[in-house]
Amino acid sequence: MMRWAFLDDALAYTGATLRGAPMGGIQAATVQLAEALAARGHTATVYNRVGEISQHYGVTYAPLEKINTADVVVANCAPKLFSPKNFARHFFSEATQKTKKILWMHGPASYMQKPKHLWPYILHGPRVVFSSHYQRRTWPAWLPQQSVDIPLGLGAMFLGMAERQPPPPVAIFLSNPRRGLDWLVNLWQTRVFPVMPAARLHVYGGRAVYGNRQDGALDKALS
């Protein structure tokens, strides 16, 4: 079995967050993958902005600065997370030179051309995991990569549910409101509602999902 380390510098969260509080898609995917690996006998640790070490559903959660040796290191979105300053001093010892590094992409990849992302990527040369063909097409064409497409899995909570015939006319938006919510609302008003007034659009993407941080772009999308 292998030791897996997941790195995420965006928010503080654990497996308990998934089950009792608003949560972003990146964080939910990380928790569920870590739990699935732990259930198969692997050691899974998620390093993020939590203040102390804890365990939930077989997975350890710890502050980023506490990272220890691992066989596979998965960085969410940002190759800068592979930088030595984010690791314990012994992480890059001779015994860990064979550590596999994976850059897990969760959205459009055009930002990789920015120097703050480009240079750490070139330095560490991680394998890139895309979740869709569209995502792959947003990667800068001039930037080489070793990659694989792995679509996101379906969480256990969605499996085994009784099929409803017919399903209610409800659409659900589960992404960051900045990623097209204004376009979707306009489409709903002009194309969907006029022909199906009983349909409902449910939006799960408020400020609480992103830690209630001050964000003008998010406020505009939600207005």
Q: What whole-number distance in Å separates Cα of residue 129 and Cα of residue 141?
A: 16
Is 87's pLDDT higher than 80?
no
| Domain around 189 | 162-222
Residues 17 and 64 in one domain: yes
Domain boundary among 94, 120, 149: 149
The answer to whether 176 touches 205, Cβ cutoff 8 Å, is yes
Looking at the fold, whether 139 and 176 belong to one and the same domain comes out as no
> Does any domain span residue 156?
no
Whether residues 74 and 166 share a domain: the answer is: no
Q: Final residue of a domain: which of 119, 149, 179? A: 149
Cα(187)–Cα(195) distance, rounded to whole angstroms?
A: 12
Total structural domains in the chain? 2
Question: What share of the chain in percent tops pLDDT 90?
Answer: 62
| Among 184, 182, 180, CA closest to 199 | 184
User: From residue 114, how far is each of 73, 134, 198 by CA, in Å?
Assistant: 22, 20, 45
d(CA 45, CA 23): 18
Q: Please name the amino acid found at residue 15.
A: G
Q: What is the CATH number of the domain that holds 47?
A: 3.40.50
Residues 19 and 66 in one domain: yes
The confidence score (pLDDT) of residue 99 equals 86
**Which pTM value belongs to this model?**
0.76
Last residue of a domain, one of 149, 181, 198: 149
Position 90 confidence tier, pLDDT thresholds 50, 70, 90? very low
H-type alpha helices, the chain: 15-20, 25-39, 115-124, 133-137, 181-187, 216-222
Same-domain pairing of 138 and 37: yes
Does residue 154 lie in a domain region?
A: no
Length of the chain (residues): 223
Range 164-171 average pLDDT: 86
**pLDDT bucket at 22, cuts 50 / 70 / 90:** confident
- Same domain as 218, residue 111: no
Q: Which residues contact 180 (CB under 8 A, 6 or more apart)?
A: none
* Residue 12 sits in the same domain as residue 57: yes
- Cβ contact 100:125 at 8 Å: no
Which amino acid type is present at position 185?
V
On average, the pLDDT of the chain sits at 87
At 31-68, the pLDDT tens digits run: 999 999 999 999 999 999 999 999 999 999 999 988 88
State whether 127 and 24 are in the same domain: yes
* 93 has a pLDDT exceeding 50: no
202 lies in some domain: yes
Residues 121 and 61 placed together within one structural domain of the fold:
yes
Q: What is the rounded distance in angstroms from the CA atom of residue 164 to the CA atom of residue 6? A: 37
Residues 63 and 94 placed together within one structural domain of the fold: yes
**Residue 166 shares a structural domain with residue 78:** no
pLDDT digits (tens, 9 = 90+) for 115-125: 999 999 999 99
Of 56, 54, 76, 77, the C-alpha closest to 5 is 76
Residue 173: beta bridge partners? 203
